[in-house]
Amino acid sequence: MSDPRTHINPKGVDLRLWRQVFSSRSLALGLVLTLIFTGAALLSLIWTPYDIETLNIANKIKTPSAAHWLGTDHFGRDILSMIMVGARTSIAVAVVAVGIGMTFGVPLGLFAAARKGSVLDELIMRANDLIFAFPALLIAIMITATFGASAVNAIIAIGVFNIPVFARLTRSGALTLWQREFVLAARVAGKNAARISFEHILPNVTNLLIVQGTIQFSLGILAEAGLSYVGLGAQPPIPSWGRMLADSQTMISFAPHMALFPGLAILLTVLGLNLMGDGLRDLFDPKLRRARS
Amino acid sequence: MVRYTLKRLVSLVISLAVASVVIFLAIEVLPGDPAAYMLGVNAQEDTLAALRDQLGLNGTAWARYSTWIGGMLQGDFGTSYTYRTPVAEMIGDRMQVSLPLALMALTLSTVIAFPAGILAASRRGSFADVLIMGITQLGVAIPNFWFAMLMVLVFAINLRWFGAGGFAGWEAGLLPGLKSLTLPAIALALPQASILARIMRSSLLDTLTEDFIRTARAKGLSRAQALRRHALRNALIPVLTIIGLQFSFLLAGAIIIENVFFLPGLGRLIFQAISSRDLIVVESVVMLLVFAVVMVNFAVEIAYALVDPRLRASR
Amino acid sequence: MSLLAISNLDLEIHGTPILRDVSLSVDPGQIVGIIGESGSGKSMTAFAVLQLLPNGAACRGRVALSGHDMLALSEPALCALRGNEVGMVFQEPMTALNPIRTIGDQVAETILIHETVSRDEAMKRARDALNRVELPEDRFPLSRYPHELSGGQRQRVVIAMAIALRPKLLIADEPTTALDVTTQAQILDLLTRLVREDGMGMLMITHDLAVVAGMADEIVIMQRGRVVERGACPAIFSALKHPYSQALLAASSHHPDRDAHQAAPPLLELRRVVRDYRLPRKTLFGPPQVIHAVRDVSFAVERGESLGLVGESGCGKSTLTRAILGLEQVQGGSITLDGQPVFDGQVVNRAVRRRMQVVFQDPYGSFNPRHRVARLVAEPFHLLESPPQGAAREAAIDVALLSVGLTADDKHKYIHEFSGGQRQRIAIARALIIKPDLIILDEAVSALDVQVHAQILDLLADLSTRFGLTYLFISHDLSVVRSITDRVLVMKSGEIVEQGPTAEVFDAPRHPYTQQLIAAAPKLPDSTAA
């Protein structure tokens, strides 16, 4: 270990962090891809190259050109514009689903760890196991079977499946922290389990949560695309990448561009998020960082 | 080992029981009157009553639940409202497609993933490692149904090596049947294989930093021998967890992929049932799929104990 | 000719120099001890002999093992030597064995790798090797798994693996550091016996002067990657020349200056304390198993006294600590501070708890890495009814840091900016900040290098005189307890087996267990004590 006193300037920490972000190629690439798609989604709120709500049958199924960079679909809509608006749906569904997973999963995990071995801990963990038996698709199928299809279904289905993911991760991270002596020191200082969980445990599992969050985010985008593709997610007229692919399927032999670009959009977004997640994990985990060098 | 198995078995039965209650509540109780739902808003009161009677919806929720479970335990999954055929028979037919597909995909993904992961870990930082990591990074990110569509475009429409969809049926012989399942199985297996290979690699690399690997090297084992004899089986433990978890994704994936290739499997059945509002079919197929996931996880837990003597002894 | 000859060995890892110009030699039948603090390069020297170095390592110089030039050999040739010509034993017996393979399998592997013999034959010889390390067949069949053995037993398995082929050289890297003192003595005896029987050379690496003093023929002292002194043992101890070696020896036998304790009324009193743990049921219907962690323990600590509590791992001393701190409730008996019970009904008595604090063993795990020192040190303020605010709080933090020899500026830093010894000072500052009467020191110096360890003991002695502190000093290390306590308790299997004034207990132990402990503790040669 180098002399620990060399980093006196507390702001220096951030500088080093940013240097590391850009020295890691996968993190930088992931960040750029994610920013492009989030940027496109945000931009679509105020501007898209073409209006996607007006149909122009005369202009249908055009291959990419200067006017329509990614071509048009079977209703003559601009595919680039559709992808931009579709990004909004994908990102919104995935963000809310990760949000649901974290809001319920993290407190459950913290609680289970704080009361390790209790009946409640056991109950929480068994319930988690049970949810793992229901893939998001099955939940969506059950909701759709009784309430009909909608984007909200997709959010709930993916979100519910995220809860045990975060609960387990938080619990296992928290359990190792509860063994640490600084938690014992906090107990000696008279702090109760709730206070320790929020002051000492939660801040030390955030890195784990951020990394898992990016991964669940990318899985959420894949899941949303799948659900919309089979008609269990976003319903027309809301554009979504999965629906665009479903629409293109029957026309794939003569209009492959309709299938190509939405799929690429999914691939690149998910790839970006995964690269970012990997990069962040390397950045946060000093053990891995050492092993890489 | 016996104690361990028994304990897992008890928790398996409890899981299934709770899952069946959840499914029953979600499909038969939450929406109010399933009969009204199935017939739509314009149904006459006497047709509704007839359907309720036919579906056995007149009893209490508890009575209906016990009839449903009791029936399933004896292999009676009820009668489809739209097709008027026993659901068990329909499921049996569809399983002839879905089961081979799942098995093919699982085998394919393991057969690809294990060697790839081991190669990448043992030659860490080499060209092979970088290549495998790059390909699997893409494999993890690709939506499997889109990959399936691309394969249809290339191998079915352009090269004409395979049919674009549909199922030849086993009556025509083993080969045509397998051939129509090949593209779907590859589409399902590739993303799973990518995940598995990455897990295999990182788990192996983790194990290779353990103290007992150093001990093995000090005994005179070469790097490759230490990896084969000491790291591999230890690294398998987290990999098994992932295989168990993946099965549910595989199942969900299969439901979607069957739609891409118009395969008459459980996935198609469930979507047909949803669009024709055939709740009995939906309920039973969902239960069957959950049963499959829970059974696979049970198998994985038994496999853990076979790999790890610490589990066999304790608890 | 020497069995092992290292001459002018330089080692760099990714360009960072680790070893500089290291030379030493081991003759057949000779035990050479390498001593140094953490970071001195002593373990890397051992790994350089086996050429099992981390990626990015580059060696220069010469390492000759029975004539083989180790730095020039190909990897397959090195594999043929490892385990055959040279065996190695490691520090952590708990992780050194493959958890999912039987011990017989793992010992036999050494033989199968190097010789073309049948599996049965290899197993038979593995049995012999295990017998030689005193793991008899009736209790330790070949089919045992590592998790069924204790730390000391696992270390014996590792030794059996290392000596199965009767190598010419045995390298032992801190083989007893992770073990209890009585187990340590047994393992050291075993190693010495094997070396003498087989005429092996042995390279013994340790941070503990006393461990090698009793067994080595020659001693090599290392500091920052260099050999600073070499010589025959034990003669070398009375003729150390290098200032570092002298400082190391002085620190190893350091006794802080302390005033003798005068009789005073008791501060902490334990009466017939009992703490049981229930284990999860093994069978469905049988009675749950119960572990008696603490059984019927009574003692008192006088105000201003320093009381030692000695025992090996699993004796119940940690459980007792937690009970005194009010972290766990006891099932029987009472714990009182100045007559006030620690537990008031079901609730912890905060008025009592704010009068005691604790310092833990691990200087790295004791602090939340995300908080600054000011916040870390001020954490016990939570116990006060009206904790100081603003300037008063800052002033209290400054005073606490200054009193442990740090500066007020240190409060703005994060914990990773400090060394192990500095962290332990911060832990003491945290304990001092609410001006407690009693401080429990739970293995507080065990993880520190010997010189830092001596400095912390001095600090503790100084603080106790300045603030009139009472210490309960819990440790497995007898020499530490001897140097800083007035009275000592010896604990075994949840019970206090002996207590009395420290000097009396150490000089004339009455209980057989205490006698065993004291006999097992490694000692520096007498000539050096002066």
pLDDT at C517 over 70: yes
Number of domains in chain B: 2
The length of chain C is 530
Measured distance CA(A215)–CA(A218) in Å, rounded: 5
For chain B, say whether C258 makes contact (Cβ under 8 Å): no
Measured distance CA(A157)–CA(A110) in Å, rounded: 23
Name every chain A residue with its beta carbon within 8 A of the beta carbon of C430. Answer: 185
pLDDT at A290 over 80: no
pLDDT at C218 over 50: yes
pLDDT bin (cut points 50, 70, 90) of residue B248 is: confident
Residues B53 and B131 in one domain: no
- DSSP state at residue C147: G
What integer pLDDT is reported at residue A56 of this predicted model?
77
Phi, psi of C218 (to 5 degrees): -140, 150
- Stated as kind and residue range, the H or E segment containing A169 is helix A151-178
Neighbour-count burial of C52, counting CB atoms closer than 10 A to its CB (0-12 exposed, 13-18 middle, 19+ buried): middle
Q: pLDDT of C95-123, one tens digit each?
A: 999 999 999 999 999 999 999 999 999 99
What integer pLDDT is reported at residue C528 of this predicted model?
47
- Examine residue B86 and state whether it is found in any structural domain, yes or no: no
- Determine which of C279, C319, C368 to mutate to test the interface with A (most A C-beta atoms within 10 Å): C368
Q: pLDDT of A150-209, one tens digit each?
A: 888 888 889 998 999 999 999 999 998 998 889 999 988 888 899 999 999 999 999 889
Please give the average per-residue pLDDT across C473-492, as a whole number. 90
Phi-psi region of B75 (alpha: psi -120 to 50; beta: other; left: phi over 0): left
What integer pLDDT is reported at residue B180 of this predicted model?
86
pTM: 0.85
- Examine residue A94 and state whether it is found in any structural domain, yes or no: yes
pLDDT at C434 over 50: yes
What integer pLDDT is reported at residue C284 of this predicted model?
53
What whole-number percentage of chain C has pLDDT above 70? Answer: 97
pLDDT bin (cut points 50, 70, 90) of residue A286 is: low
Q: pLDDT of A238-282, one tens digit each?
A: 888 998 898 888 888 888 888 899 999 999 999 999 999 888 887
pLDDT at A20 over 70: no
Residue B161: HSE in the Cβ half-sphere, 13 Å Cα cutoff: 10
Instruction: Give the pairing type, strands C266-278 and C438-442.
Output: unpaired
Structure-derived torsion over alpha carbons of residues C94, C97, C101, C106, reported in degrees to the nearest 10 = -140
Q: pLDDT of B75-128, one tens digit each?
A: 888 888 777 888 888 888 888 888 889 889 989 999 999 999 999 998 888 899
Measured distance CA(B306)–CA(C263) in Å, rounded: 62
Interchain contact, A200 vs C362, CB within 8 Å: no
Residue B150 is encoded by which pair of tokens?
Answer: 């691309």
CA B180 to mean position of chain CA atoms = 19
Q: Which residues does B47 contact at the CB level (< 8 Å), separation at least 6?
A: B39
Three-state SS for C266?
Answer: strand
Do A81 and A49 form a contact (C-beta atoms < 8 A)? yes
What integer pLDDT is reported at residue B314 of this predicted model?
52
Measured distance CA(B284)–CA(B83) in Å, rounded: 15
Interchain contact, C82 vs B220, CB within 8 Å: yes
pLDDT bin (cut points 50, 70, 90) of residue C526 is: low
Measured distance CA(A123)–CA(A109) in Å, rounded: 12
Residues B64 and B118 in one domain: no
What integer pLDDT is reported at residue A9 of this predicted model?
38
Name every chain A residue with its beta carbon within 8 A of the beta carbon of B209. Answer: 291
Handedness of CA B107, B111, B114, B120 (dihedral sign): negative
Neighbour-count burial of C523, counting CB atoms closer than 10 A to its CB (0-12 exposed, 13-18 middle, 19+ buried): middle
For A77, A239, B140, the CA distances from A83, given in Å and listed in that order, are: 11, 8, 21
**Residue that is written with structure tokens 């009574």 in the block:** C298
What integer pLDDT is reported at residue A18 of this predicted model?
60
pLDDT at C476 over 70: yes
CA C50 to mean position of chain CA atoms = 26
What integer pLDDT is reported at residue C283 of this predicted model?
55
pLDDT bin (cut points 50, 70, 90) of residue C92 is: confident
Q: Which residues does A206 contact at the CB level (< 8 Å), separation at least 6?
A: none
Three-state SS for B6?
Answer: helix
What integer pLDDT is reported at residue B215 of this predicted model?
93
pLDDT at C65 over 90: yes
- Examine residue B66 and state whether it is found in any structural domain, yes or no: yes
What whole-number percentage of chain B has pLDDT above 70? Answer: 96
- Examine residue B270 and state whether it is found in any structural domain, yes or no: yes
- Examine residue B298 and state whether it is found in any structural domain, yes or no: yes
Interchain contact, B212 vs C99, CB within 8 Å: yes
Residues B109 and B72 in one domain: no
- Examine residue B6 and state whether it is found in any structural domain, yes or no: no
- Stated as kind and residue range, the H or E segment containing C442 is strand C438-442
Cα Rg of chain C, angstroms: 26
Q: pLDDT of C13-30, one tens digit each?
A: 888 899 999 999 999 999
Amino acid at C304: G
Evaluate whether ipTM surpasses 0.90: no
- Examine residue A31 and state whether it is found in any structural domain, yes or no: no
Residues B125 and B205 in one domain: yes
Three-state SS for A42?
Answer: helix
Measured distance CA(B147)–CA(B162) in Å, rounded: 15
Name every chain C residue with its beta carbon within 8 A of the beta carbon of B225. Answer: 113
pLDDT at C49 over 80: yes
What integer pLDDT is reported at residue A3 of this predicted model?
35
Helix intervals (H) in chain B? 2-24, 34-39, 45-55, 61-73, 87-122, 127-141, 144-151, 174-208, 211-218, 223-226, 232-260, 266-275, 279-307, 309-313
Domain residue limits at A175: 70-292
pLDDT bin (cut points 50, 70, 90) of residue B167 is: confident
What integer pLDDT is reported at residue B212 of this predicted model?
93
- Examine residue B54 and state whether it is found in any structural domain, yes or no: yes
Residue C280: is the preceding peptide bond cis (ω within 30°)?
Answer: no
By a Cβ cutoff of 8 Å, what residues of chain A touch chain B? 126, 129-130, 132-138, 141-147, 218, 222, 225-226, 229-231, 245, 248-249, 252-253, 256, 259, 262-263, 266-268, 270-271, 274-275, 291
Q: What is the CATH number of the domain that holds B117?
A: 1.10.3720.10
- Examine residue B132 and state whether it is found in any structural domain, yes or no: yes
Residue C490: HSE in the Cβ half-sphere, 13 Å Cα cutoff: 21
- Determine which of A182, A197, A202 to mutate to test the interface with C (most C C-beta atoms within 10 Å): A182
Do B151 and B186 form a contact (C-beta atoms < 8 A)? yes
**Residue that is written with structure tokens 């501070």 in the block:** C337
Please name the member of B14, B157, B274 whose beta carbon is closest to the beta carbon of A145: B274
**Residue that is written with structure tokens 């295989």 in the block:** B243
Residues B103 and B234 in one domain: yes
Domain residue limits at B55: 32-76
- DSSP state at residue C414: B
What integer pLDDT is reported at residue C282 of this predicted model?
55
Q: Which chains touch C (3 or more CB pairs under 8 A)?
A: A, B
Please name the member of A137, A262, A268 whose beta carbon is closest to the beta carbon of B252: A137
pLDDT at B57 over 60: yes
Q: pLDDT of C126-173, one tens digit each?
A: 999 999 999 999 999 999 999 999 999 999 999 999 999 999 999 999
Residue C77 is encoded by which pair of tokens?
Answer: 């040739």
What integer pLDDT is reported at residue B304 of this predicted model?
84
- DSSP state at residue B154: I
- Examine residue B2 and state whether it is found in any structural domain, yes or no: no
Number of domains in chain A: 1
Do C324 and C297 form a contact (C-beta atoms < 8 A)? no
Instruction: Give the pairing type, strands C487-492 and C495-501.
Output: antiparallel
Residues B222 and B295 in one domain: yes
Please give the average per-residue pLDDT across B213-225, as a whole number. 92
Residues B120 and B232 in one domain: yes
Residue C391 is encoded by which pair of tokens?
Answer: 């300037």
Q: pLDDT of C161-207, one tens digit each?
A: 999 999 999 999 999 888 888 899 999 999 999 999 999 999 999 98
Q: Which chains touch B (3 or more CB pairs under 8 A)?
A: A, C
Three-state SS for C5?
Answer: strand
Q: Which residues does B182 contact at the CB level (< 8 Å), separation at least 6?
A: B104, B162
What integer pLDDT is reported at residue C432 of this predicted model?
93
pLDDT bin (cut points 50, 70, 90) of residue A23 is: low
Measured distance CA(C46)–CA(C358) in Å, rounded: 38
Residues B95 and B218 in one domain: yes
Phi, psi of A179 (to 5 degrees): -80, -15
Q: pLDDT of C379-416, one tens digit each?
A: 999 999 889 998 999 999 999 999 999 999 999 999 88
pLDDT at C470 over 90: yes
**Which of the listed residues B45, B76, B107 is the one where a domain comes to its end?**
B76
Do C220 and C34 form a contact (C-beta atoms < 8 A)? yes
Do A284 and A211 form a contact (C-beta atoms < 8 A)? yes
Residues B204 and B58 in one domain: no
For chain A, say whether B39 makes contact (Cβ under 8 Å): no
Q: pLDDT of A93-129, one tens digit each?
A: 999 999 999 999 999 999 999 988 888 888 888 888 8
Measured distance CA(C266)–CA(C261) in Å, rounded: 13
Residue A133 is encoded by which pair of tokens?
Answer: 């038996």
What integer pLDDT is reported at residue C14 of this predicted model?
87
Strands, DSSP E only, in C155-211?
A: 169-173, 201-206
Bigger pLDDT: B164 vs B205: B205
Nearest CA-CA partner of A110 in A26, A170, A195: A170
Interchain contact, A7 vs C367, CB within 8 Å: no
- Examine residue A79 and state whether it is found in any structural domain, yes or no: yes
Q: What is the CATH number of the domain that holds A89?
A: 1.10.3720.10
What integer pLDDT is reported at residue C270 of this predicted model?
93
pLDDT bin (cut points 50, 70, 90) of residue C529 is: very low
C306-327 burial, b if ≥16 CB within 10 A, otherwise e? bbbbbbbeebbbebbbbbbbbb
Q: Which residues does A15 contact at the CB level (< 8 Å), separation at least 6?
A: none
pLDDT bin (cut points 50, 70, 90) of residue B193 is: very high
Residues B180 and B104 in one domain: yes
Residues B39 and B168 in one domain: no
- Examine residue A49 and state whether it is found in any structural domain, yes or no: no
Q: pLDDT of C226-278, one tens digit each?
A: 999 999 988 888 888 899 998 888 888 888 888 788 888 899 999 999 988 87
Residues B63 and B145 in one domain: no
Q: pLDDT of C276-334, one tens digit each?
A: 887 765 555 566 678 888 989 999 999 999 999 998 888 888 889 989 988 888 888 88
Q: pLDDT of B150-163, one tens digit each?
A: 998 888 888 888 87
Q: pLDDT of B251-302, one tens digit each?
A: 778 888 988 888 888 888 888 888 887 888 888 888 988 898 888 888 888 8
Name every chain C residue with its beta carbon within 8 A of the beta carbon of A190. Answer: 348, 350, 353-354, 380, 382-383
What integer pLDDT is reported at residue B119 of this predicted model?
93
What integer pLDDT is reported at residue A171 of this predicted model?
93
